[in-house]
Structure 1
Amino acid sequence: MDEELKSLIKVWISAIISISYCYYIPPRIKSGVPRLCSLCPVLALFLVLPLCFSSVHLSLITAFFLTWLANFKLILFSFDKGPLIPLPPSLSRFICFTCFPIKAQQNPKSQNHMPKLVFAIKVAIFGVLLHLYGYRKNLSPALLLALYFVHLYLEIEIILSFIKNVVCIFLGCDLEPQSNKPYLATSLQDFWGRRWNLMVPAILRPAVYAPMRRVSERRMSSGWALFPGILAAFIVSGLVHELLFFYLTREMPTWEVTMFFVLHGVCTAVELAVKKKTTVIQRWQLSPVVSRLLTVGFVIVTGGWLFTPQLIRASLSYRLLKSLLINF
């Protein structure tokens, strides 16, 4: 733990210095390829930093914040796009908005106590889940897989909510939510585009979807050009997740995770194509309850088929639990 703590301090000092450089120097350089070239050393560094940890949690968190979010935001920043444009008024805001899945709320709304209550419920459920792992030898493989999905979801939600609240207090501003009750999604488009990990689609739209759609419009109508854009965004997301899995397992990718996102990209594109046929929608419109069950069920089933096998082979669930108990 002492070595991991030293690595944590070194990594984040390096990250803060690098992002400070990005705040002061590249904005003075012409946007486009020249600015991107000035950021290349930082982008390369952020690819290496997650390898400094042996802890699963620290490696995953660093990879998500720096390799995934920061790198994509800085690439968009090179072309005067993305959440870092316009340039935040202070270095502290620039660092926070670069690393974390947060964005300043444009129209702040009055807050109620329900989010705090929901957060407390999630923490309580997570505690019960950790207790159940003590009886994992007596649980069926299917139930263990379901618990693993809930574990991943709750851990991500708890960590991101905690970071959001800390940053909100530090910056003194209202921040947009990271997710919007993904378990209530009524379609794949709703799940991936409007509810799950909202910062990711906010980055992929200008970075992948929009450029691919513009290129596709040269060869097909604008109505159909959105489909290559959707597939490209899901493929890039799959490749990034393969990289994250490499940081976790330190094993070569098997491409099952990429296939998971390709499958969901194809299904989302088919879903949108069906929605274009208004007569089909009117004839086969399902109730919200059924739509939610089908959507969440499809995500869980395909996740168990393609998303988790590599993690299970690497005994990552055990390593996650062991790391969590050691760290906390």
Structure 2
Amino acid sequence: MALTPAQRHRARVMAEKAQAASPFGIELQGSDYQLMLAKLATDKRTLKTLQSVQLKRQTKAQLLPEYLPWIEGALSKGQGARDDVFTTTMVWAIDAGAYGLALRMAAYVLQHKLPLPDQYQRGAAAVLLDEYADAYLRGQWQPLRPGTDEKGQPALVADETHPAEHLTALAGLTTGQDAPDQARAKLLKATAYALLGKIQTAEDPQLDGLPPEILGDVLALLVQALHLDAQSGVKKDIERIERKQRALANPASPASQAVQAATDQAGTPTATADTAKPKPATAAGRGKPAAKPARRPAAKTGNAAKT
């Protein structure tokens, strides 16, 4: 049910009072917090009745505006008291696609070392890294931000922020936080793929037209991901980018460029008219010498990608 402006203001004031009265390190106190916990329990029961993951995400996006006054109250007056409403809705915000809002909430959670509810079974940093990376790498990235609908009511609306911006911001927030290497590697991979405009590992990224500095940034992210997790699935991408960098540094002949294009497409060098080993020539007639085969151009060498 949509709140009136007066109700939203009262909810914000309630949240600020509850936060201000609860110091760091203890669970949030007061009847207002208990009311929000009761609402959260009701909404969680509603979500449990849904089987579709996509429908659950859409429902969370519809529910989140009702929690915005509480969230803003915590962000403005919170002292770090444990707040299961805040931490749960932070994860809901990620599921719903409100990545910018979730980043603001994540900064507060990480600053005060707030634990997540027991159901998540992981620390906040690990959950954040996994959820953001999975949202992008699974093709579920549909960003939203707090705004208003056509009736002027609070709602989540489309967010035009580039995925790499949100992913990079999360990497900065979680620097120094304890989390599994695999989760951090996955975020690095997702950020690199976002810069390339790529989602699936098997996709061949379109490297033509990308500025050299972007290629360098992407390569650095992928190398870091591989260092943290040898099974991160980025080796082929590293090889493609290193080949592209060598090609940009040493412009080749048209024939060599054809080899490069075939290599990028197939993953291994493909024979061309200039590089294929010629079949033995036969004389057109007795006593007529066969044409000599074309000399095979020397293959260029380069440093192999670190694996």
Q: TM-score, normalised by structure 2?
A: 0.31
Structure with the greater relative contact order (CA < 8 A, sep ≥ 6): 1 or 2?
Answer: 1
- Kindly name which structure, 1 or 2, has the bigger radius of gyration based on alpha carbons: 2
Q: Which has the higher helix share?
A: 1
Q: TM-score, normalised by structure 1?
A: 0.29
